[in-house]
Amino acid sequence: MSSFAADYRIIDPHVHVWKHDPEYPFAKEARPPARDATPEMLLDLMKANGVSNTVIIQVIHYRYDNSYLAGVLKRYPRYFQGVSRVDPLDAAAPDHLSRLVTEQGFKGVRLSPAGNTAGDWIHGPLMPPLWKRCGELKVPMTVLAPITRMPEVGALIEQFPDLTVVIDHMADCPVDQPKELEKLIALRRYPKVFVKVSHTWSLSHQPYPYLDAQEHVKRLHEAFGPQRLMWATDWPIVEQTANATYSNALRIVRDDMKFLNDDDKHWMLSKTIERVWPFE
């Protein structure tokens, strides 16, 4: 590990956990991997890579039943915070979110509108009440959406400019469509928008260190500054890409983004994340 990393704790703001366990059944329509991704496996990886704390995102395999993750958070409060999911097509979603936050300690919610018509609810009437409740609860809204959805996300942010919003995985902007990244860059005018510069490994058409995808990170760094960017592993999803690992997802930011200085890395590996998800 580079020497500068010893001066602060590294926090991973995006992983998933699940376990094949009849006590916590997957959603009927889910097709989870045969493998487990348990918090104990994650803790071993964190320890081996010098990562102190992690934000766990409710995995889609359970859909809107956050019970498994709630149990994980209760068992390991020192290490983890959690981001829930609620059904975006349910008018009761704001109340569900309130219970998840106030009774089970979740620190936000994630929405995942698809790029096709199945995700058109992002500009529907159920969104403003949910975003408003998120603001009232003072927890961040996390959005996984393709780059084509960023103008619609921006329209919601315009209505709720005081709400902290985190855009996952650079909006998965294809590296061969660099002009499309401007749709994400346009959100820089909202000071409470943050971006995860993850998925370099899945967006890239090149081997590690994914220099083509690093061009996206470089442009986002110039637009948002390191104070609004954060790394992430997306474990265990990262392991589905050839030669991509938890360790490499850290190493690429810590060691191999040559345009970042030590202060940039301090923000992107730690301080930015604590602006959104502060750990004791």
| Number of separate domains in the chain | 1
pLDDT in tens, 18-44: 999 999 999 999 999 999 999 999 999
Global confidence as pTM? 0.96
C-alpha angle with apex 251: 245 to 255, nearest 5 degrees? 160
pLDDT digits over 177-228, tens only? 999 999 999 999 999 999 999 999 999 999 999 999 999 999 999 999 999 9
For residues 206 and 161, give the distance between their C-alpha atoms in angstroms, rounded to a whole number: 37
pLDDT in tens, 143-190: 999 999 999 999 999 999 999 999 999 999 999 999 999 999 999 999
**Which SS3 state, helix, strand or coil, does residue 98 take?**
helix
Task: Answer yes or no: are the C-beta atoms of 232 and 195 closer than 8 Å.
Answer: no
In which residue are the tokens 């975006």 written? 88
Rg of the chain's alpha carbons, rounded to an integer? 18
Residue 94 CA to residue 127 CA, distance in Å, equals 9
* Domain assignment of residue 47, given as a range: 3-276
Q: What is the DSSP letter of 125?
A: T
CATH code, domain carrying 15: 3.20.20.140
Provide CB contacts within 8 A for 265, sequence distance 6+: 4, 5, 226, 253, 254
Whole-angstrom Cα distance, residue 172 to residue 199?
7
Quick check: helix, strand or coil at residue 143?
Answer: strand
What is the reported pLDDT for 7?
Answer: 83
